[in-house]
Amino acid sequence: MDRKKIKKAKRIVIKVGASILTAKGLKLDERWIKNFAGQVAVLFKKGCHVVIVSSGAIAAGMGILGMKKRPKALPEQQACASLGQGYLMKTYEELFRKKGFHAAQILLTWEDIRERRRYLNAENTLHTLLNKKAVPVINENDTVSVDEIKFGDNDKLSALVASMVSADLLIMLTDVDGLYIDGKKTVASVVHDINAGVEKLACGTDKECSRGGMRTKIDAAKIATRSGIDCVIANGREKNVVLKILNGEKTGTLFQARKKKITGKDFYDEAINRVIL
């Protein structure tokens, strides 16, 4: 019964991590994006609305510049993002257009979420794009973000976006099979409650092209489930993983939405507080 509800999801937010978007050498994996676009096209034909929260701008820029390690200095990260974001969107648009739809770029900073007026403006833009059958591709605006305003990862951003568009489902694609409950042997199929024990299973990341890790994904799942949105963390390298999830197959870890959800300003205040913390 836990997965049957997912099959009815019509509005879906998919977060794509940099580790999935990039191939060896930190270049964008166009073959993967092409397959991903095909899966999104199938959802479109079923009448679904899809929003993508995509990392990868800095990694793409690193690939263009031939860099092998993520720069530590903020100006260098911003320079990589400036180079990489255009290439990332060009790739999305070209591959999505071949499937019959367009990608619309939206770049957000912390200020766009923290200030209620800007939050509502972003919300209106997203709903308009979805009504016009376009696919919003959202990323943090790394080219202008500074330490005081950056999200620090796109996991929490994807959960906030899922609430913003009243999504039925949030999918976070990463390079692991889900939440492991005993090292890297067994993946939890369903998590009914994100308690202290679940949080202890999460860890961070030291990958060159990523930031966050399972810890931030658990934080994002908290935000989503508190607003009544089911959340699945799954391996983006698994063949047709998005379609498998929407078909109710047991892939990845499902974090079940709370039956008693919080909405409106109460949710907004709590979600913002979680990001701050």
pLDDT tens for each residue of 124-139:
999 999 999 899 999 9
pLDDT interval class at 209 (50, 70, 90): very low
- Averaged over 25-33, what is the pLDDT? 83
CATH code where residue 55 lies: 3.40.1160.10
Asked whether 275 and 160 are in contact (CB, 8 A), the reply is yes
**What is the domain range of residue 35?**
4-276
Q: What's the rounded Cα separation, in Å, for the pair 116 and 272?
A: 11
Asked whether 129 and 90 are in contact (CB, 8 A), the reply is no
Q: What is the overall mean pLDDT for the chain?
A: 85
Q: Which two tokens stand for residue 103?
A: 């990608």
Number of structural domains (the chain) is 1
Asked whether 60 and 139 are in contact (CB, 8 A), the reply is no
- pLDDT exceeding 70 applies to what percent of the chain? 84
The pLDDT value given to residue 273: 56
pTM: 0.89
Q: Would you say residue 98 has pLDDT above 80?
A: yes
Q: What's the rounded Cα separation, in Å, for the pair 56 and 184?
A: 25
For 188, other C-beta atoms within 10 Å of its C-beta total: 17
Position 57: which residue type?
A
- pLDDT exceeding 90 applies to what percent of the chain? 53
| Low-confidence winner among 113-122, 170-179, 223-232, 265-274 (lowest mean pLDDT) | 265-274
| Low-confidence winner among 20-24, 226-230, 242-246 (lowest mean pLDDT) | 20-24
- Averaged over 209-234, what is the pLDDT? 85
3-state secondary structure string across the chain? CCCHHHHHCCEEEEEECHHHHECCCCCECHHHHHHHHHHHHHHHHCCCEEEEEECCHHHHHHHHHCCCCCCCCHHHHHHHHHHHHHHHHHHHHHHHHCCCCCEEEEEECHHHHHCHHHHHHHHHHHHHHHHCCCEEEEEECCCCCCCCCCCCCHHHHHHHHHHHCCCCEEEEEECCCCCECCCCCCECCEECCCCHHHHHCCCCCCCCCCCCCHHHHHHHHHHHHHCCCEEEEEECCCCCHHHHHHCCCCCCEEECCCCCCCCHHHHHHHHHHHHHC
Q: Would you say residue 148 has pLDDT above 50?
A: no
| Low-confidence winner among 60-64, 83-87, 188-192 (lowest mean pLDDT) | 60-64
Q: What's the rounded Cα separation, in Å, for the pair 6 and 102?
A: 25
pLDDT interval class at 277 (50, 70, 90): very low
Tell me the chain's radius of gyration from C-alpha atoms: 17
Q: Would you say residue 210 has pLDDT above 70?
A: no
